[in-house]
Structure 1
Amino acid sequence: MTTRSLIIDCDPGVDDAVGLLLAFAAPGLELLAITTVGGNVPVEATARNARIMRQIAGREDVPVYAGAERPLVREPAGAGEFHGLEGTGDLTVFEPGAPMAQGHAVDAMIAIVMSRPAGEVALSVMGPMTNVALAMRKEPRLAAHLGCVVAMGGARSEGGNITASAEFNIWADPDAAAEVFASGCEMIVMGLDATHQVRATEDRIAAIEAIGTPAAEATASMLRFSHRIEREIVRGEDPPLHDPCTVAWLLKPELFTTRPCRIEVETASDLTRGHTAVEFRIDPATARHHWATKADGQGVFDLITAKLKAAAPQQGAVG
Structure 2
Amino acid sequence: MTPLIIDTDPGVDDAFALALACAAPEVDLIGVTTVFGNVGLALTTRNALRVLALYGRDDVPVAAGAEQPLVHPHPHRARHVHGADGLSGQAETLPERATGVAGVDAVSLLVSLLESAPAPVTIVPIGPLTNIALLLAAHPGVRSKIARLVVMGGALGGGNVTAAAEFNIWSDPEAARRVLVEEPVPVTLVPMDLTTRCAVDGPWLDSLAAAGPRGATLVSLTATYREHYSRSLGRDGMVVHDAVAVAEAIKPGLLHTTAMPVEVDCGYGPGRGNVIADQRATRNPGEGREVDVALSADLDQVRSFLLSHLAG
Q: 1:13-51: CA deviations, max 9, x gaps?
A: 010011000101111111110000011100100110001
Q: 1:211-268: CA deviations, max 9, x gaps?
A: 122x211221234432212245x47433222001111102223431110111110102
Tell me by how many angstroms 1:99 deviates.
1.1
Counterparts of 1:277-288 in structure 2, within 5 Å, are: 277-281=276-280, 283=285, 288=290
Q: 1:143-180: CA deviations, max 9, x gaps?
A: 343111000000112x1000001000000000000011
Q: 1:257-289: CA deviations, max 9, x gaps?
A: 110111110102321110001113454899640
* 3-state DSSP of counterpart to 1:160: coil
Contact 2:262 2:290 in 1 (8 A): no
* 3-state DSSP of counterpart to 2:43: helix
Among 303, 306, 309, the alignment partner of 1:304 is: 306
Tell me by how many angstroms 1:304 deviates.
2.3
* 3-state DSSP of counterpart to 2:161: coil
Contact 1:261 1:284 in 2 (8 A): no
* 3-state DSSP of counterpart to 2:269: coil
Distance change in 2, residues 1:222/1:138 (3 Å): same
For the aligned residue pairs, the C-alpha RMSD in angstroms reads: 2.0
Gapped regions of structure 2 (runs ≥ 5): none
* Distance in 1 separating the partners of 2:289 and 2:11: 31
* Distance in 1 separating the partners of 2:286 and 2:209: 42
* 3-state DSSP of counterpart to 2:147: coil
- Percent sequence identity over aligned pairs: 34
* 3-state DSSP of counterpart to 1:106: helix
| Farther off after superposition, 108-117 or 283-292 | 283-292
Gapped regions of structure 1 (runs ≥ 5): 311-319
Q: One-letter code of the match for 1:122? A: T
Distance change in 2, residues 1:39/1:196 (3 Å): same
* 3-state DSSP of counterpart to 1:148: strand
Tell me by how many angstroms 1:138 deviates.
1.2
Q: One-letter code of the match for 1:27? A: P
Q: 1:74-126: CA deviations, max 9, x gaps?
A: 21231111100000114242643321111000111112113335x71110010
Tell me by how many angstroms 1:305 deviates.
2.2
Specify the alignment match of 2:257 in structure 1: 258
TM-score, normalisation: structure 1: 0.89
Distance change in 2, residues 1:269/1:236 (3 Å): farther
Contact 1:195 1:295 in 2 (8 A): no
Contact 1:265 1:275 in 2 (8 A): yes
Aligned length: 304
* Distance in 2 separating the partners of 1:274 and 1:71: 13
Contact 1:5 1:120 in 2 (8 A): yes
Specify the alignment match of 1:143 in structure 2: 143
* Distance in 2 separating the partners of 1:92 and 1:136: 32
Kindly indicate whether residue 231 of structure 2 is the aligned counterpart of residue 229 of structure 1.
no
Distance change in 2, residues 1:126/1:231 (3 Å): same
* 3-state DSSP of counterpart to 1:271: coil
Specify the alignment match of 1:199 in structure 2: 199
| Farther off after superposition, 215-224 or 121-130 | 215-224
* Distance in 1 separating the partners of 2:273 and 2:141: 26
* Distance in 1 separating the partners of 2:277 and 2:198: 21
* 3-state DSSP of counterpart to 1:6: strand
Tell me by how many angstroms 1:302 deviates.
1.7
Contact 1:193 1:292 in 2 (8 A): no
